[in-house]
């Protein structure tokens, strides 16, 4: 016991400095040098392309593409902290049935066809993306609310589809923030400008 105490304490101290300070701080340094945009959270002036946010629905219907629920949880004032991944309902949970039915009814009232991605919670609760089908399902409602031609919006969605990485990793998706920012540039008559 006693002969082990010195190496145990010294080894703990050395490993603490090596793995707990040198390793993450060197990692932070190299990350900030090579990938400052990503390392700081892929931020732009509207938010982060990696973190979902809520897109309020106005009186005249949805002006923006909606992401994964629950949007109202995602945006709070400064000081409000969002804890990710807190909705955990079982596959035969009555609560889940009620929540899905309620969200579907709300979407229908807003003129949006409910899609799987729009009624189910994501794993993180801050999923920034939706399945392309869930975006197409919103086109008519947004076109009506904004007075835009649905065909132009459909083209906009198509130009924003991210295919699976290398063709097979993950699923195809549309980033809701990118899509909504691009929405600003869709003119009433013409189609969208070439995709950015």
Partner 1 sequence: MDLALTLVLLLLVLAVAWRFLGSYLAAVYDGRVSWLGWFERPVYRLLGVDPEREQSWQRYTGSLAVFSGVAILITYAIFRFQGSLPFNPQHLGAVPPALSWNTAVSFVTNTNWQNYAGESTMSYLSQMVGLTVQQFVSASVGIAVAIALVRGFARKGSPTIGNFWVDLIRGVIYVLIPVAFIAGIVFVGQGTVQTLAGPAVIHNPLTGLSQVILRGPVGFMETIKQLGTNGGGFFNANGAHPFEDPTALTLFLSIVLLLAIPVALTYTFGKMVGNIRQGVAVLAAMIVLFGAWTALTVYAESQPNPAVSAAHAVAQHQGNMEGKEARFGPQQTALYNAASTETSTGSVAGANDSFNPLGGLGLLAGMMMGEVSPGGVGSGLYTILLFALLAVFIGGLMIGRTPEYLGKKIQAPEVKLASFAVLVMPITVLVLTALAVSLHAGRAGPSNAGPHAFSEILYAFTSQGNNNGSAFAGLNGNTAFYNVTGSIAMLIGRFAIIVPVLALAGVLAAKHTVPEGLGTFKTDTPLFTGILISVIVIVGGLTFFPAVSLGPIIEQLSRHRLF
Residues 140-159 close enough to bind partner 1 by CB under 8 A? none
Piece in contact with partner 1 (CB under 8 A), picked from 143-151, 152-160, 177-185, 188-196: 177-185
Q: Determine which residue in the list 112, 131, 141, 148 makes contact with partner 1, applying CB under 8 A.
A: 131
Q: Shortest Cβ distance from residue 184 to partner 1 (Å)? A: 8
Q: What contacts 59, CB < 8 A, 6 or more positions away?
A: none
Residue ranges in 1-40 that form contacts with partner 1 under rule CB under 8 A: 1, 4-12, 14-16, 18-21, 23-24, 26-28, 30-32, 34-35, 38-40
CB of 59 to partner 1, least distance (A): 15
- With CB under 8 A as the contact rule, the residue among 73, 122, 142, 182 that binds partner 1 is 122
Of 126-134, 140-148, 149-157, 187-195, which segment contacts partner 1 by CB under 8 A?
126-134
| DSSP secondary structure string for all residues of the chain | -HHHHHHHHHHHHHHIIIIIIIHHHHHHHHHHHH-HHHHTTSEETTEETTS------BTTB-SS---SS-HHHH---TT--PPTT-----TT-HHHHHHHHHHHHHHHHTTPPP-HHHHSPPSSS---EE-HHHHHTTHHHHHHHHT--HHHHHHHHHHTEEPPBTTTBS--EEEHHHHHHHHTT--SSS-PPSP-
| CB closer to partner 1, 116 vs 151 | 116
Q: Quick check: 60 binds partner 1 (CB under 8 A)?
A: no
Q: Is 190 in the site for partner 1 (CB under 8 A)?
A: no
CA–CA separation, 20 vs 38, rounded Å? 22
CB 141 within 8 A of CB 58: no
3: number of Cβ within 10 Å: 7
Which residues 73-112 are close enough to bind partner 1 by CB under 8 A?
Answer: 74-98, 100-101, 103-104
Choosing from 65, 73, 112, 115, the residue that interacts with partner 1 (CB under 8 A) is: 115
Given candidates 65, 66, 112, 117, which one binds partner 1 under the rule CB under 8 A? 117
Please, which residue, 11 or 151, has the CB nearer to partner 1?
11
């Amino acid at each position: 016991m006693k002969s082990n105490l010195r190496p145990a304490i010294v080894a703990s101290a050395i490993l603490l400095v090596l793995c707990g300070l040198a390793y993450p701080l060197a990692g932070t340094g190299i990350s900030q040098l090579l990938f400052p945009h990503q390392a700081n959270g892929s931020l732009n002036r509207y938010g982060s392309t990696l973190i979902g946010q809520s897109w309020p629905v106005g009186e005249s219907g949805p002006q923006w593409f909606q992401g994964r629920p629950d949007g109202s949880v995602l945006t709070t004032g400064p000081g409000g902290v969002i804890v990710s991944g807190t909705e955990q309902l079982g596959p035969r949970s009555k609560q889940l049935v009620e929540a899905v039915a309620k969200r579907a009814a709300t979407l229908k009232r807003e003129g949006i066809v409910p899609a799987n991605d729009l009624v189910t919670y994501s794993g993180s609760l801050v999923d920034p993306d939706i399945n392309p089908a869930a975006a197409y399902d919103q086109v008519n409602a947004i076109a009506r609310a904004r007075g835009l031609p649905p065909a132009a919006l459909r083209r906009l969605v198509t130009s924003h589809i991210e295919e699976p990485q290398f063709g097979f990793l993950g699923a195809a998706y549309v980033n809701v923030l990118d899509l909504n920012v691009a929405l600003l540039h869709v003119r009433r008559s013409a189609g969208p400008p070439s995709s950015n």
